[in-house]
Amino acid sequence: MSGAGGGRAVGYAALAALAALPFFLSSYFQHLAVQIVIWSLVYTGWALMGRFRLTSLGHGAFLGVGAYVPTLLWNNYGVTPWLGIPAAMALAVLLAMVVGYPCFRLKVVGHYFALVTLALGQVVLLVIVAAREITGGSLGMTPRAVGHSWYALQLSDKASFYAVALGAWLLGIAAWHWVECGMQRPALEAIAEDEEAAAAVGIDVLKEKLRITALSTGLTALGGALYAQYLMYLNPESMSGVGISLQIVFAAIAGGMYSMFGPTVGACFTILLNEGLRVLFGTHFVGAANTIYGALLVVFIIFMPRGIVGLAERMVARPKPPGPAAPVVQAAE
């Protein structure tokens, strides 16, 4: 990002254009826009950890907490989502800390970290299913509908919801910016590179990892909460567990997890691709869209691990020595 005034002006103009977007779109495209913005937030949240080699395969856990807690509070106690969502985020962060603290303390990394998080995603999924008395189990549940209400965050027009989601997404981008420009990024990159060495130069490895994990999981929970409020329907499979956790990982990687707008591009790409293929194939070939999507993912990970944005950056930028943000490829053994 060029920090110059010109760059900033472009940024504000782009933001204004984004804010005005729904007024130019039909209801169907508004629906797509809301989905894209919400998932962009979730993917950005995941990439905050993913880019530093904290590969979580269990972000569905935090998505699930974010989705269910505000709805349960609203349905059972009439607590407004404006309080319920922060509560859900706090709970998600707490959950992340309970699992993250021992993981980081005992240096669980790589495969093992990925598989612990995968298990965590399953735990949340199973708890939601097991608590079917209050969550409806596999059948899912709906927030108690009260018609158009800001208090209940149930907005009948998509443009209003889009505005809310866009605000949340901006929060995610701001968090990314904060990490990118603060002392956190070099510290976390050093940790991703070599934990022992980072500790030796005085980086508090545990604290840095916990901080980025808290940020990442809190934003993911926020995204989950907004998605549930928007759809007005929750079910355990689409809100937690392995399937959705992997979807988060892949969309973020496809877009480019090392760039601020990479995950957002990933959300645009995956959602538009999915819709496009769905329209193209109609309902005759259920699964065709995802088959192509799956094949593309494999191609992405093999040939362009930095995603779409990474590829674009490489094509635009003049050749220069790889910056510190470059992914470290292990030497072939």
Q: Which residues of the chain form contacts with other proteins (CB under 8 A)?
A: 53, 55, 99, 102-103, 106, 108, 110-112, 114-116, 118-120, 122-123, 126-127, 129-130, 241-243, 246, 249-250, 253, 285-291, 293-298, 300-302, 305, 327-333
Burial 241-276 (b: 16+ CB within 10 A, else e): bbebbbbbbbbbbbbbbbbbbbbbbbbbbbbebbbe
Looking at the Cβ atoms of 143 and 310, the one nearer to other proteins is 310
CB of 71 to other proteins, least distance (A): 19
User: Contact at 8 Å (CB) between 230 and 85?
Assistant: no
Task: Give the pair of three-digit tokens for residue 84.
Answer: 């319920």
Smallest distance, other proteins to C-beta of residue 64, A: 13
Give 50's DSSP letter: H
Dihedral of CA atoms 16, 218, 294, 121 in degrees, nearest 10, equals: -160
Evaluate whether 163 touches 301 at the Cβ level (below 8 Å): no
CA–CA separation, 321 and 243 (whole Å): 38
The conformation of residue 256, written as its DSSP 8-state character, comes to -
Contacts of residue 241, Cβ cutoff 8 Å, sequence gap at least 6 = 60, 64, 121, 122, 124, 125
Q: Which of 86/136 has CB closer to other proteins?
A: 136
Nearest distance from C-beta of residue 303 to other proteins, angstroms: 8
Closer by beta carbon to other proteins, 42 or else 166: 42
Q: Which is nearer to other proteins, 162 or 258 (CB)?
A: 258
Question: Tokens in use for 162?
Answer: 């889009």
As measured in angstroms, the least distance from the Cβ of 123 to other proteins is: 5
Q: Cβ 220 to other proteins, closest distance in Å? A: 18
Cβ distance to other proteins smaller for residue 111 or 320: 111
CB of 113 to other proteins, least distance (A): 9
Closer CB to other proteins, 104 or 162, in the complex = 104
